[in-house]
């Protein structure tokens, strides 16, 4: 990222909050989280409900996995994606505590 050179100037919690915020900072990723909240999906399931190409959706899934908001179960050639409910509520708590004080 553009600020990687002065990463150390920010606190762990500032970095953490901004990292998850950035991860959900795209409408497609919000849409993916909402769809996965309803039920587990394969990548193709998601592609058919989003205005994006398969490779693009796969990329967004990768971003969400990177911050552990979702979980991919490998069943080749399929991957079953699901919400990581634990991480999900941790993020909820994290954002809440940021906005609380």
Partner DNA sequence: TTGGTTTATCGTAATATTGCAATCAATTAA
Partner DNA sequence: TTAATTGATTGCAATATTACGATAAACCAA
Residues at the contact surface with DNA, assessed by CB under 7 A: 1-4, 6, 22, 25-26, 28, 42-45, 47, 51-56, 58-63, 72, 76-79
Residues contacting residue 85 through CB under 8 Å, at least 6 positions apart: none
| Residue 88 binds to a copy of itself (criterion: CB under 8 A) | yes
- Nearest approach in angstroms of CB 95 to a copy of itself is 5
From the list 86, 80, 55, the residue with the least C-alpha distance to 68 is 86
- What is the tally of helices (H) and strands (E) in the chain? 5, 2
- Nearest approach in angstroms of CB 77 to a copy of itself is 27
């Amino acid at each position: 990222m553009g600020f990687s050179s002065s990463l150390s100037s920010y606190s762990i919690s500032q970095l953490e909050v901004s990292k998850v915020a950035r991860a959900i900072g795209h409408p497609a990723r919000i849409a993916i989280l909402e769809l996965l909240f309803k039920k587990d999906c394969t990548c193709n399931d998601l592609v058919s409900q989003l205005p994006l190409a398969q490779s693009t959706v796969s990329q967004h899934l990768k971003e969400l996995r990177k911050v552990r908001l979702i979980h991919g179960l490998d069943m080749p050639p399929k991957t079953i994606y699901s919400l990581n409910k634990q991480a999900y509520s941790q993020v909820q708590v994290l954002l809440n505590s940021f906005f609380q004080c």
